[in-house]
Amino acid sequence: MWGQMITGGEHSRLEEMTSVTGIPVMTKKCFTGEMWGRALNEAMVEAGRMGRDIAIQNNSFCEGVQAITVIVDGGWSKRSHKHSYNAKSGVAIIIGKETGKLLYIGVRNKFCQACTLHIPQDQHACYKNWNASSSEMETDILLEGFTNAERMHGIRFTKFIGDGDSSVHPNVPAGWGHYIQKLECATHTCKCYRGALEQLVKDKPSYKGIGGLTLKMRKRLVSAARCAIKLRSKESDRVKALSLLKKDLINGPRHCFGIHTHCSPDLCTKVTTHSVSCGQTSDAAPQTTNCDLSESNASSGDRECINNDEDLEGK
């Protein structure tokens, strides 16, 4: 039933599917009733209670109110990347970092099918609630969630992990909003790095080819960056972590092209005093690193790092 609802299916399609399998189906009133909304609200309230308990255990407060870190993200009905911001519907969510549970969800719609059929307002539930730009939907929903956090859950979201292009931070609510800090999402950071590499070889085709920015090399560069972020995120000294991470990221291309004179022993097990020019073959033994980025294991290493969904606060 839940699958039918989230894919836009109606009661008739559910009834047809269950009749084939011989499973009794609920009534249409139950299918479209308010039970789902109540269950969702109860789940969010329970998640808020768990967040408060964790904040108390961690002694995390903001002006006497329990404070937690959350993860935010949004989505639209029409997939687009840096173009065509004209989706009719958008959704955004706020999830507790420690609990991994939903704390807030909001939907913005610019379209109502019943209204286009000129059905009177008192004869249908109209879900159209947005007339501004589609790109502003995510920001509006998240600001609503931050503003209502204390009223709904008795907590404040003082840190949030979001996409690099998120516009929430400049629009945080007044009052306690200046306490809010944004932590960059490591996955999105690496995605932007990969995008920049792809744009580079598109603008400069001569950079591609053997000994240059091949597809395999571009993947290795991103994988090396992700491994560096993962390693440095475990440092307790944040200032030292940022300094080391900056060095690792700058050195990433040298490492991937076989120049290990500036590699960190924490990341590379082949720290040498000689250099290998780009495109040349080294006479030394095969290169290996703690991130499994050796020539023989590059694909598996890329897959391990890039697909790692672990939450990293790589600023």
Q: Which of 145, 175, 184 is nearest to 62 (CA)?
A: 175
Three-class SS of residue 88?
Answer: coil
- Local structure of 252: helix, strand or coil: helix
What is the per-residue pLDDT across 257-286, written as a single tens digit (0 to 9) for each? 999 989 998 888 876 544 444 444 443 333
Task: Give the length of the chain.
Answer: 315
Which residues, in sequence order, are CB contacts of 252 under 8 Å at separation 6+? 221, 224, 225, 228
Are residues 78 and 87 in contact, defined by beta-carbon separation less than 8 angstroms?
Answer: yes
**From the CA atom positions of the chain, what is the Rg in Å?**
25
Q: What percent of the chain has pLDDT over 70?
A: 77
Average pLDDT over residues 115-135: 87
Q: Model confidence at 294, in pLDDT bands (50, 70, 90)?
A: very low
Question: Can you tell me the distance from the alpha carbon of 280 to that of 215, in angstroms, rounded to the nearest whole number?
Answer: 18
Give the least confident one: 90-94, 258-262, 299-303: 299-303
Q: How confident is the model at residue 290 (pLDDT cuts 50, 70, 90)?
A: very low
User: What interhelical angle do 215-232 and 238-256 show, nearest 10?
Assistant: 160
Both tokens assigned to 172: 């945080």
User: Does the structure show a pLDDT above 90 at 20?
Assistant: no
Supply the pLDDT for residue 249.
94
Nearest alpha-carbon partner for 100 in 68, 142, 58, 62: 68
pLDDT-derived band at 86 (thresholds 50, 70, 90) equals confident
Domains in the chain: ranges and CATH: 1-30 (no CATH), 34-183 (3.30.420), 186-306 (no CATH)
pLDDT band at residue 16 using 50, 70 and 90 as cut-offs = confident
pLDDT band at 6 (very low <50, low <70, confident <90, very high): low
Burial class (CB in 10 A: 0-12, 13-18, 19+), 48: buried
- pLDDT tens, residue by residue, 227-237: 999 999 889 89
Rounded Cα–Cα distance for residues 127 and 8 (Å): 14
Axis crossing angle, helix 215-232 with helix 186-203, rounded to the nearest 10: 150
Instruction: Give 169's pLDDT tier (boundaries 50, 70, 90).
Output: low
CA–CA distance, 285 with 315 (Å, rounded to integer): 35
Q: Does the pLDDT value for residue 177 go beyond 80?
A: no
Give the tens place of pLDDT for each residue, 70-80: 999 988 888 76
- Integer Cα distance of 75 and 262 in angstroms: 41
How much is the mean pLDDT over the chain?
80
Report the 10 Å Cβ neighbour count for 274.
11
Per-residue confidence (pLDDT) for residue 82, from 0 to 100: 60
What are the tens digits of pLDDT across the range 23-67?
A: 888 887 777 777 778 888 999 999 999 999 999 999 999 989 999
169 in Cβ contact with 183 (< 8 Å): no
- For the segment 19-23, the average pLDDT, to the nearest whole number, is 85
* CB-CB contact of 226 with 306 (8 Å): yes
Asked if the model's pLDDT at residue 302 lies above 50, the reply is no
CA distance linking residue 110 with residue 19, whole number of Å? 35
Give one DSSP letter per residue of 65-116, joined into a string.
Answer: EEEEEEEEEEEESS--SSS----SEEEEEEEETTT--EEEEEEEES--HHHH
- Helix (H/G/I), strand (E/B), else coil: 72: strand
d(Cα 93, Cα 26) in Å, to the nearest integer?
29
Model confidence band, residue 179 (pLDDT cutoffs 50, 70, 90): confident
The pair of structure tokens assigned to 31 is: 């299918």
Could you give the C-alpha distances from 73 to 19, 65, 228, in angstroms and in order?
38, 24, 24
Q: pLDDT at position 299, please?
A: 37
**53: number of Cβ within 10 Å:** 13
Run of H or E residues at 105: strand 102-109
The number of beta carbons lying within 10 Å of the beta carbon of residue 20 is 7
Decide if pLDDT at 293 tops 70. Answer: no
| pLDDT number for residue 26 | 83
